[in-house]
Structure 1
Amino acid sequence: MATATTTGPTGSRTLYTLNLDDTMAFPDNSNIPAHPPAPDERWLIITELISDPAPRPGGHGFMVKDKIGDRFPVIFSTPTAARDVRPYKVGRLICLANGSMTDFHQKLGYFVQDKSTAFMIPCTIATLRLLSVRLRAQSDAGEFGQCCSVCKTRSDLRRCRCRTRYCGTECQRRDWNNGHSKECRAIEALIVWNRTEWW
């Protein structure tokens, strides 16, 4: 196992400190903890789907790649597996909470036995990284959680589910039409993760 990066300080409403390369909070296949988490520990394995869902031995699943490009299967073995995998499509992320690898059929991968431990974000790993860099730049400029995302004026209004701030309807509409509609759920996840104490 490679040496893991130590988790840094937790972010806040106005400070973005999240590091997606932190291998303790967001492990890749080289850094997956061997044991289930202790009560005060948590991690998230971020993977990108490279095949659509299909019946597989043990349930329904797909092939994914992690943030370093390792490829492996993720199999849902829930009672409603065929229905549970429907939202997952190629190019979207599946995030596995506190996952541990399983050896099955001469291949390492992940079994999802509780669908609440996996969730989808509609973007790629590359897009998630770009959004994280953008939020860090806003934080460094003193704008994160304090200024309108479009015109950069101070604003106390949170007009979006991802907590992005806008000074009013016009700026929100402009941002939504310029791509925020496709980024909103990913930004929401990044902001929640920024304020999570992983270890």
Structure 2
Amino acid sequence: MPKTKTSKSLLRNDVNFPTFSDLPDENDVDLTYYDEGPYGFAPSQHWCFLGEIVDSYGLGRILLRVKDKEDQVVTIGLYTDDRGQALAPQIKQGHTVAVLYGEQHGFLDMSVGIRVEEASVIRIIPCSLEQLLKVSDDVAARNSDRQSRCCGSCGQKEDTSDKTHLRLCSRCKQMSYCGEACQKKAWVDGHKVDCKVLVWVQWFAARNWRVFNGYFNF
């Protein structure tokens, strides 16, 4: 039966952003993610595995050890044409790996992990998994407040009647401010770091993960 889990925010949704144990097995048909049609089974929704890099190794082929949302550590094997070399400069302990349509794969050494064959389905996000999830939570909390407020320390509400308009951060398009002073203070207080993460949260949020109309690519 399909899973019916609730989520605190988009990236905490364990169906579209599953932990390793909830990924479909490459040798089975998981009805959470596939429906049967006239031409056989086809994806019914999208999913993306998120894990934080613990270690990397391998001389010819890069192998990553990553920790998922449940702290389970698994291996991601990069079987792309260049054996993961294009990703090598971005691989840093503590950064987050995102893998679209990952499946549980049995390696020759009898371990189980994720095999990545296409470079377009994997990206490294330059922040910890904890930070990525926290920013996703913050966006969900702000979206629940229907009345726009300054994201700076003043918390001023937008009021069109007296021409008090908020302006969005030009980069992440998520944080809004009443003026330059609040924006500069927020930048120093933490938005300088969160801004890069918000760009990625926006990338995930801009897509409909529950309806499949073709594969996503990074």
TM-score after normalising by structure 2 = 0.73
Runs of 4+ in 1 over 6 A off after TM superposition: none
Point out the structure with max Rg over C-alpha: 2
The verdict on how the C-alpha distance between 1:173 and 1:41 changes in structure 2, with shifts beyond 3 A counting, is same
Where do 1:31-180 residues align within 5 Å?
A: 31-34=22-25, 35=29, 38=42, 40-51=44-55, 53-55=56-58, 59-80=61-82, 81-104=84-107, 105-143=109-147, 146-150=148-152, 151-153=154-156, 154=158, 155-163=165-173, 164-180=175-191
Retained in 2: the 8 A contact 1:4–1:31? no
| Structure 2 unaligned spans of 5+ | 35-41, 159-164, 211-218
Structure 1 residue 40: deviation in Å?
Answer: 4.6
Aligned to 2:13: 22
Aligned to 1:193: 204
Aligned to 2:4: 5
SS at match of 1:133: helix
The verdict on how the C-alpha distance between 1:54 and 1:86 changes in structure 2, with shifts beyond 3 A counting, is farther
Structure 1 residue 103: deviation in Å?
Answer: 0.7
- Separation (CA, whole Å) in 2 of partners of 1:75 and 1:68: 20
Which AA in structure 2 matches 1:69? Answer: D
SS at match of 1:189: helix
Aligned residues: 186
The verdict on how the C-alpha distance between 1:117 and 1:42 changes in structure 2, with shifts beyond 3 A counting, is same
SS at match of 2:187: helix
Which digits, 9 at most, give the CA deviation of each residue in 1:53-105, with x for residues without a partner?
Answer: 3326x711220011011111112222332232320211111011111121112
Retained in 1: the 8 A contact 2:9–2:137? no
Q: How well do the aligned residues superpose, as a CA RMSD in angstroms?
A: 2.6
TM-score after normalising by structure 1 = 0.79
The verdict on how the C-alpha distance between 1:43 and 1:7 changes in structure 2, with shifts beyond 3 A counting, is farther
Which AA in structure 2 matches 1:167? Answer: C
Which structure is higher in RCO with an 8 Å CA cutoff and minimum separation 6? 1
Retained in 1: the 8 A contact 2:166–2:179? no
